[in-house]
Copies of this chain bind each other. A is one copy, B any other.
Amino acid sequence: MELNSAADSLAALGHDTRLAIYRLLVQAGTEGLNAGVISARLALAPATLSFHLAHLTRTGLVASRPDGRFIYYSADYARMNELLGFLTANCCAGEPCVTAAPCCLEGEPA
């Protein structure tokens, strides 16, 4: 993973509203939630939500899946783990250290 791409993802998560959206999706599982449900739960104006969902999607943290009139959004767990791995890579200069274990990868296509 490139530094540039990791920074983009972290910047996407570095905003109260987007982080709240992302956590909602992380907790929702692979099914995801449609935009209307997210909008209702977080009390966001449609245009504002759309802007933030587009941002999260652009960085690869979130995937979207149309279903009729609805669009379902879900967290991409593989991407999350890539990002966690990037942050802890080569850490601690040889001092005692355990690297972070992969999380939530079951059911993901790797």
Chain B residue with the shortest CB-CB distance to A102 = B98
How many copies altogether?
2
Q: Given contacts A27-B91, A84-B84, A92-B104, are A7 and B13 in contact (CB under 8 A)?
A: yes
SS of A interface (majority): helix
Contact with B along A1-33 (1 / 0, CB 8 A): 001101111111111101110010011111100
Q: Given contacts A23-B3, A100-B100, A103-B100, are A29 and B80 in contact (CB under 8 A)?
A: no
Give complex CA distance A28, B94 in Å: 9
Q: Cβ of A54 < 8 Å from any Cβ of B?
A: no
Instruction: Say how far A97's CB is from chain B's closest CB, in angstroms.
Output: 5
Give complex CA distance A93, B77 in Å: 12
